[in-house]
Amino acid sequence: MATIEITFTLNGTEHYIEADTRWTLLYLLREEFGLTGTKRGCDMGECGTCTVLLDGLPVNACQVLVASISACRVTTIESLSSDGNLHPLQVAFLENDGGQCGFCTPGFIMSAIPLMEMDTPITRDQISEALGGNLCRCNAYGAILDSVNAALDGRFHA
């Protein structure tokens, strides 16, 4: 088994780890750190339910090798709430029934985070495009779009 030593930042905390070179970021998060908010779906980069932020940009954690995240910032769904305050996107999903079974919800929320960083008005088409890599088998797309739209309108201040 080949291993690699890397240092990276996970949800604001720096970690030094010795990792198997075959590990994916998804495996690392769920099995080594116990952060199971990031879901394992297709494991092929098609469903988006394992979406996390890598240096602020959404990626499918199942398609990222741990060996490639040295010095990177990884952000998972667990970091969004603080001191019992939910992130505005989480509040909006609750208020708009944005999740049915809820399995895909973390991935959709993480894909929507970069939209919250934009400084221009955002259309519903742009939201659809940003969430294009995420699948919902419950087919709750309408409510998901409503949720993100509501959060972007600033109606849900955490």
**Residue 13 binding other proteins, by CB under 8 A:** yes
Nearer to other proteins, 1 or 82 (CB): 82
Nearer to other proteins, 34 or 121 (CB): 121
**Residue 94 binding other proteins, by CB under 8 A:** no
Nearest approach, Cβ of residue 152 and other proteins (Å): 5
Q: From its phi and psi, is residue 56 left (phi > 0), alpha (psi between -120 and 50) or beta?
A: left
Q: Which of 88, 98, 99, 107 binds other proteins (CB under 8 A)?
A: 88
Q: Which of 94, 122, 135, 143 binds other proteins (CB under 8 A)?
A: 122
Place of tokens 């087919």: 139
Per-residue CA distances from 101 to 39, 55, 81, 137, 139 (Å): 13, 29, 21, 9, 10
**Residue 14 binding other proteins, by CB under 8 A:** yes
Helix (H, G, I), strand (E, B) or coil at 40: coil
Judge whether 37 and 28 are in contact, CB under 8 Å.
no
**Residue 118 binding other proteins, by CB under 8 A:** yes
Site stretch for other proteins (CB under 8 A), options 26-34, 41-49, 97-105, 112-120: 112-120
**Residue 1 binding other proteins, by CB under 8 A:** no
The two structure tokens encoding residue 34: 């116990």
| Cα–Cα distance for residue pair 33/36, rounded to 1 Å | 8
Nearest approach, Cβ of residue 158 and other proteins (Å): 5
